[in-house]
Structure 1
């Protein structure tokens, strides 16, 4: 079974949907990411370890929550998500198939040296969207043919062009 380590706050700050959500509530963005990853892990059959920093929260102890194949870890005070991931990838990276999702370039180099593959947060975002499309198409094949795209409902050409430029830049 493939194991994926994910730097939670790195993903939240990289994914457009979650980045804007966190402005209202980090808790809401975290829960949304957890829900998304539960679906993904169930569909793909991967073990996912989602790691959130608590290194700046005085007195924080390591806390874990399990949701099927998804393990959510809040690090202890003084421990970053990067250090937690490095330590655990070092233990298993050359024994089983491991991938790390982060856009931190230094972290990507370190985990690669420890036997894991890496994927940027935005690359993973596109993977998630692709899987979500396949899930929707499988659930209701009629919807796969009859798409209701936002761009089809925007009458103002200038707004449609700006949205298209934004979509292409991510």
Structure 2
């Protein structure tokens, strides 16, 4: 039986490491979080993995919050709990013979702890490079699909296409 893959993402660690998200964070932290979640939704869609993004509560105080955005699970830790602590708990809760956990963080201490629990680490840089490759593959796939799709289901002469285009633009 094939193993299920789970990607746990240390949200603020990744935001602090990716240039695009770093710049966005300076002006609008919520936008940086949203963009990271969108990128992880693309990752999930392409890879087919379960993706959980964990954010520290110190940026959003209050009780632990869970939500699903773009089919990505988003966790805000409890007020006195770090993302690292929550990720460690998730690694032990979700781990098993049929589950392979991957943790995206550049925190070296965290990498050693999760590695000792059987999870695989993925640095912020590795995830960013992988994300660029996935984005390029998705773009190529969409372009190929559009090129193969017929413009019209009816084979029209150029003269008729021109007439229809004029009608579409409101010209006679």
Same fold (TM over 0.5): yes
Provide the TM-score with structure 1 as the length reference: 0.79
In the alignment, which residue of structure 1 is the partner of 2:22?
19
Query: Using the alignment, how far apart are the partners of 1:116 and 1:69 within structure 2?
Result: 22
In the alignment, which residue of structure 1 is the partner of 2:45?
42
Task: For structure 2, list consecutive stretches of 5 or more residues without a partner in the other structure.
Answer: 147-172
Would you identify which runs of 4 or more consecutive aligned residues in structure 1 move more than 3 Å?
A: 55-58
Deviation, structure 1 residue 57: 5.2
Task: For structure 1, list consecutive stretches of 5 or more residues without a partner in the other structure.
Answer: 144-170
The number of residue pairs the alignment matches comes to 142
Query: Using the alignment, how far apart are the partners of 1:54 and 1:85 within structure 2?
Result: 13
Query: Using the alignment, how far apart are the partners of 2:127 and 2:80 within structure 1?
Result: 27
RMSD, aligned α-carbons: 1.8
Aligned pairs (5 A) from 1:17-166: 17-55=20-58, 58=61, 60-67=62-69, 69-95=71-97, 96-141=99-144
Of structures 1 and 2, the larger Rg is shown by 2
Deviation, structure 1 residue 93: 2.7
Deviation, structure 1 residue 85: 0.3
Query: Using the alignment, how far apart are the partners of 2:59 and 2:72 within structure 1?
Result: 24
Deviation, structure 1 residue 90: 1.6
Query: Using the alignment, how far apart are the partners of 2:42 and 2:124 within structure 1?
Result: 17
